[in-house]
Amino acid sequence: MAKADATVRAYRGDAEVFQAWCARYGFRSLPASSEAVAGFLVAEAEAGRAASTIGRRCAAIRYAHKLARLPDLTDDEAVRVTVRGIRRKVGTAPDQKAAATADVLAAMLMRIPDTLTGKRDRALLALGFAGAFRRAELVAIDVSDLREDPEGLRVTVRRSKVDQEGAGFEKAIPHGRFIRPVALLRDWLNASGITEGPVFRPVSRSGRVRMTVRDTNPARLTTQAVADIVKKYATAAGLDPSAFGAHSLRAGYITTAAERSADLEPLTEPALAPAK
């Protein structure tokens, strides 16, 4: 199976970083020597790179050599010893973000102002939670992906981390009694005047929705913007923003459902506490 586009892009970037390092210190990047690979990885660790990033850099070098039908230098003993040493020093524990559970989400929603930006942020947070969306899935939603349903709304996910072939699948979003993701989404679309293209878009400081980028491509929120929005309202709710990120919405739904022994299908709404 071909690697996902996102993985290929990441590998390409990693390979470019390795090539630049080799050029700086007089090494060949392809084919690379085990000394060059080990030296590069040590330099990355000393520069403060996360263990996961260093591991991906190593995988990218391996993949580049595989494409060129060259020996895998990352399997050399010197490189393996270096990687083990880096893991012991840097550690491999991922930066886990706190779950935005139903109670946390309610606290965030309570502090969102009733502005156009606020309507967008309420819709984004509520939909992200109710559908247990990954941030890339959330920002990729277009109006044409929304379909009315007696139980609420169905959202077509055209491409996802778990759907690398791009076959697409649907997520069912309930009306909800307290969080009300469907109503909040409709409120945003009506207020913004968005009838086609990306659902979630940037809003200027003057309160205008950006419909296009350079008058050609439809404007769309970035995945980083989702993380920033979560952190913004975590701060407003008196929470530590560094503990929250874009994944907090998906983790929050799963955690809430698990705490209440609920079905993890998005159509089954957790018992949400009403926001006061």
Q: What is the pLDDT of residues 212-230, one digit of tens each?
A: 655 566 788 998 999 999 9
- Which amino acid, 15? A
Note the pLDDT of residue 97.
Answer: 66
* Topology annotation, domain 102-262: hpI Integrase; Chain A (1.10.443)
CATH domain 5-90 topology: DNA polymerase; domain 1 (1.10.150)
pLDDT band at 89 (very low <50, low <70, confident <90, very high): low
Determine the Cα–Cα distance for residues 133 and 145; give it in Å rounded to an integer: 14
Residues 98, 232 contacting (CB under 8 angstroms):
no
Q: Using an 8 Å Cβ cutoff, are 139 and 221 in contact? A: yes
Is 273 in a helix, a strand, or coil? coil
3-state SS track over 209-229: ECCEECCCEECCCCHHHHHHH
pLDDT digits (tens, 9 = 90+) for 23-55: 887 888 888 888 888 888 888 887 777 777 888
pTM of the model: 0.60
What 3-state DSSP class applies to 208?
coil
Question: Cβ(45)–Cβ(89) under 8 Å?
Answer: yes
Distance CA 250, CA 127 (A): 10
In one-letter notation, the amino acid at residue 136 is A
Q: Give the model confidence (pLDDT) of 160-197 as tens digits.
A: 555 455 557 888 898 888 889 999 999 999 999 999 99
Structure tokens at 81: 């010893």
CATH 1.10.443.10 domain residues, the chain:
102-262
Residue extent(s) of CATH 1.10.150.130 domains in the chain: 5-90
- Estimate to the nearest angstrom the gap between the alpha carbon of 193 and the chain centroid: 26
Torsion over CA of 70, 74, 79 and 82, rounded to 10 degrees? 150
The span from the CA of 53 to the CA of 148, in Å, is 41
